[in-house]
Amino acid sequence: MTTIHTLGFPRMGAQRELKFALERHWRGEIDAAALEAVGRELRARHWQLQRDAGLDFVTVGDFAFYDHVANHVQLLGCEPARFGFAGDEPALARYFTLARGVASETGAAGSGRPALEMTKWFDTNYHYLVPEFTPETAFSLAEERLFAEVDEALALGHRVKAVLLGPLSFLWLGKEKSAGFARIELLERLLPVYQQILVRLKAQGVDWVQIDEPILGLDLPPAWRQAFEPAYSGLAKSGVSLLLATYFSPLQENLALACRLPVHGLHIDGIRAAQEVAAIADWLPVHKVLSLGILDGRNIWRADLDAALKLLRAVREVRQCDLWLAPSCSLLHVPFSVAGESGLDAELRSWLAFAVEKLAELRVLKLALAGDGAADAALAESRQAIQSRRASQRVTDARVSARLAALPADADRRPSPFPARQAAQRARFGLPLLPTTSIGSFPQTAEIRSARAAFKRGQLAATDYQRAMEKEIAHVVAVQEELGIDVLVHGEPERNDMVEYFGEQLAGFCFTANGWVQSYGSRCVKPPIIYGDVSRPQAMTVSWTTHAQSLTEKPMKGMLTGPITILQWSFVRDDQPRSTTAEQIALAIRDEVVDLERAGIGIIQIDEPAIREGLPLRREAWRDYLAWATRAFRLSASGVGDATQIHTHMCYSEFNDILPEIAAMDADVITIETSRSDMELLHAFGEFKYPNEIGPGVYDIHSPRVPSREEMVCLLQKALETIPAGNLWVNPDCGLKTRAWPETLAALRNMVAAAKTLRLTA
């Protein structure tokens, strides 16, 4: 017997219904009851899809109006005291306050109630809200939502598997808000509440609870590892069957522990932990259920069902007992359905499987394992699609592989070391001490957005569009000249998104119409799909950049997105290593860099905000990743002469532990987000003696607040304690595209004034 299920399903709805309802609710256009009705409707639809696909359970508890970790903050009764909720505030209103904060009435710093911090969910592009813990944090079963959803599903006649984030992962994902205490100490207080929840679910008629402990795939400190057995021994007493779910990463040293825990079943990620399947099939006692995450929940490719069946038959051979099948992780990380992607041709479409299609693949696997001929047609179709993708001329481009194979060993090295380049660049540009610049984008006004949209829809002629963008560029150039900025940018008005803009012009990429994935709250992203060898048919930015340069005597900085960021924010091929795809993108960007140089652009920025987030979950895999990631960056940057200045930019990240690798990127100038950390981030750069030039952001672009000249002088003085004046640049934290013009002008004016003040003394 095979049981099929999913760890979770996308929440937004086929047409992002949840997003639009949430935003209407936040604007005050629909009340809580109307929003709840939309949620109920979506859950009902998504459960029905699971049932129609023949899943043996529907999964309940994966839905959230903002984020599932925030749901647990309420379920477990640990809303932080700092929010000061009054007893009569409705749960949903409190929930949105946790998620979105409350602006202060006066606008003064320190007032208002800032939202829970948000951070990336493991190595995905989903962001969760970070629970806050203090020694006083207490827990209680405080919220009925989960139980109500279970009742909803039962009333619709479904067989229910409930899902909870496990107690250890919940604590791990949170943050201590006071010194001298470790959040693991709260476990003892937390477990009785989990126990109560499980007992309640059992009483509702739920037999199986999936309890997610993805942290079993991380490098855990001993205290955390040791906490699992006692915790789960306690939870085993609830009477409900627990399926312990792990995903995203191999279990490695936690493998024996995971197999041993007193639970009724174990789910493993058969994609990311493929190398452990055989061992677990062998070691997991046969009285426990093995749930194999056999379909890739992190990617959009149709599965090779023959290969999957071969593996599954081998596992069945070893275990001689029931097997559960599921996607590797929750389907939260893939778009809803391929149906309706009529913009993609039939061949490309046949290669894809989003959430709905993955459910269908599970059913085919189940039927095929049972020897049911009903699977034959679907298997044949799947086989056909796999073969078509493997053999397709669109996937492989012999010129790309030949070029990679023929790369000289020093292709990722600039002709001279940094000091020689610095001298050549100083002689060429003659910039003042503490040169000022910005990160690339300027305010994207409604006018710009609508011109771009009209052009895309074919309602604005190419020449009119070009004229509109050139007008904007001229404005941005004039503004920067008037402000007295030293290195100008063209403002990026022609770009909707820093990855999409390049993906649309590169071979090997395609775009869906509706392939949205939740990023956080109501925010969704539509990642490009890299399906084939990547190359650059023609220049992508040269004409905009040279046009901008023609308007000014000052250096105009060319603006590109780096290979790792493009890779990281796309769905990528699963038929070659990520490093190979990164290399291909790097060469395409390199072509652009070289063309910009040839067209007379002397300063070129290659943005890599996603380098840090690409780090593998396991530390032992960092070195390998950083080696190929930094090499890809250097490949993209190294086709130019000494006098061409390469910049890179990264948003807020911890750099401390990867500084040697950041330095190994060997950009002439790096600009980083630092103002929110009060320049603290820079200490590491100073201690490490970071060799090249650096522009720590002097003001936060996430808020409309205009920093004063004095404030920025202060920050720069702090920076000068660690960075030699000759290596220091002055710039905002990040691009300005989400800001409005008035605050942008005021802030940049103060920034230039701050640089000028310091030039007199530094």
CA-to-CA distance for 94 and 77, rounded, in angstroms?
12
CA distances for 670 relative to 274, 607, 689, angstroms: 38, 9, 14
Count of CB atoms situated within 10 Å of the CB of 174:
22
State the minimum distance, in angstroms, from the CB of residue 735 to ligand GLN: 2
Task: State yes or no: 618 annotated in a binding site.
Answer: no
613 marked among binding-site residues: yes
Q: Residue 607 binds which one of Zn ion, ligand GLN, none, with CB within 5 to 8 A depending on kind?
A: ligand GLN
Calpha distance 146→161 (Å, rounded) = 12
Q: 120 among the known binding-site residues? A: yes
475 catalytic? Reply is no
Tell me if 18 is assigned to a ligand binding site: yes
CB atoms within 10 A of CB 108: 8
Among the candidate windows 154-162, 564-572, 699-707, 730-738, which touches Zn ion by CB under 5 A?
A: 730-738
Question: What CA–CA distance (Å, rounded) separates 558 from 591?
Answer: 13
Positive or negative, the CA dihedral 571, 573, 577, 580 is: negative
**Active-site residue (options: 264, 547, 683, 702):** 702
Please say whether the dihedral angle defined by the alpha carbons of residues 625, 629, 630 and 631, taken in this order, is positive or negative: positive
Find out whether 49 is annotated in a ligand binding site.
no
Query: Helices 542-550 & 578-598, crossing angle to 10 degrees?
Result: 30
Is 310 a known ligand-binding residue? no
Which residue's Cβ has the minimum distance to ligand GLN?
A: 735
- d(CA 328, CA 315) in angstroms, rounded, equals 16
Part of the chain binding Zn ion (CB under 5 A), chosen from 288-296, 400-408, 610-618, 644-652? 644-652
CB of 651 to Zn ion, least distance (A): 4
Taking the least distance from each CB to Zn ion, the nearer of 344 and 651 is 651
Residue 241 counted as an annotated binding residue: no
Taking CB under 5 A as the criterion, which residues in 150-169 touch Zn ion?
none
By CB under 5 A, residue 611 contacts Zn ion: no
Alpha helices in 431-484 (DSSP H): 446-456, 462-483
Q: Are 95 and 36 in contact (CB under 8 A)?
A: no
CB of 561 to ligand GLN, least distance (A): 8
The encoded tokens of residue 233 equal 């021994």
Nearest to 333 by CA among 6, 578, 621: 6
Interface with ligand GLN includes 532 (CB under 6 A)? no
Distance CA 364, CA 395 (A): 27
Question: Taking contact as CB under 6 A, which single stretch among the options 75-83, 439-447, 613-621, 683-691 is the one that binds ligand GLN?
Answer: 439-447
The response to whether 337 counts as a known ligand-binding position is no
Q: Least Å distance between CB 696 and Zn ion?
A: 12
Q: Does the footprint of ligand GLN cover residue 737 (CB under 6 A)?
A: yes
**CB neighbour class for 109 (10 Å; exposed up to 12, middle 13-18, buried from 19):** exposed
β-bridge mates for residue 372, sequence order: none
Binding mask 203-232 for ligand GLN (x = CB under 6 A): ------------------------------
Contact call for residue 734 and Zn ion (CB under 5 A): yes
| Residues of this chain, 97-156, that bind ligand GLN according to CB under 6 A | none
User: What is the per-residue DSSP string for 553-610?
Assistant: SSPBEEEEE-HHHHHHTSB--SSS-HHHHHHHHHHHHHHHHHHHHHTT--EEEEE-TT
Q: Does 607 participate in binding ligand GLN (rule CB under 6 A)?
A: yes
- Interface with ligand GLN includes 735 (CB under 6 A)? yes
Lookup: tokens for 221: 């400190």
Q: How far is the CB of 448 from ligand GLN (least distance, A)?
A: 13
Give the position of tokens 């509109």: 468
Check binding of 649 to ligand GLN (CB under 6 A): yes
- Residue 651 as a binder of Zn ion (CB under 5 A): the answer is yes
Site for Zn ion in 440-479 (CB under 5 A): none
Please list, in sequence order, all residues whose beta carbon lies within 8 angstroms of the beta carbon of residue 727, skipping any fewer than 6 positions away: 692, 693, 694
**Does 697 engage in binding with ligand GLN (CB under 6 A)?**
no
Should residue 498 be labelled a site residue for ligand GLN when binding is judged by CB under 6 A?
yes
Piece in contact with ligand GLN (CB under 6 A), picked from 289-297, 329-337, 339-347, 729-737: 729-737
Residue 741 annotated as binding site: no
Q: Per CB under 6 A, which region of 69-77, 443-451, 734-742, 746-754 contacts ligand GLN? A: 734-742
Nearest to 312 by CA among 58, 1, 9: 1
Does residue 734 bind ligand GLN (CB under 6 A)? yes
Member of 422, 425, 441, 731 binding ligand GLN (CB under 6 A):
441
Residue 293 or residue 695: which is nearer to ligand GLN going by CB?
Answer: 695
When asked if residue 667 is in the footprint of ligand GLN (CB under 6 A), the reply is no
- Report 377-406 residues binding ligand GLN (CB under 6 A): none
| Helix (H/G/I), strand (E/B), else coil: 144 | coil
Pattern 703-722, ligand GLN, x by CB under 6 A = --------------------
Return d(Cα 297, Cα 366) in angstroms, integer: 18
- Considering only residues 164 through 183, tell me which ones interact with ligand GLN, judged by CB under 6 A: none
* Residue 4: its H or E element: strand 2-4
The footprint of Zn ion on this chain (CB under 5 A) covers a number of residues equal to 3
Tell me if 129 contacts Zn ion by CB under 5 A. no
CB of 747 to ligand GLN, least distance (A): 14
By CB under 6 A, is residue 440 in contact with ligand GLN? yes
Strands 127-129 and 118-120: antiparallel
- What interhelical angle do 68-75 and 145-155 show, nearest 10? 110
Would strands 523-525 and 517-520 be described as parallel, antiparallel, or unpaired?
antiparallel
Sign of CA pseudo-dihedral 353, 357, 363, 364: negative
Q: Is 569 annotated as a binding residue?
A: yes
Binding residues for L-methionine are 439-441, 492, 607
Binding residues for Zn(2+) are 649, 651, 673, 734
Residues that bind ligand GLN (CB under 6 A): 439-441, 492, 498, 559, 607, 609, 649, 651, 734-735, 737
Residues that bind Zn ion (CB under 5 A): 609, 651, 734
Question: Where in the sequence numbering do the catalytic residues fall?
Answer: 702
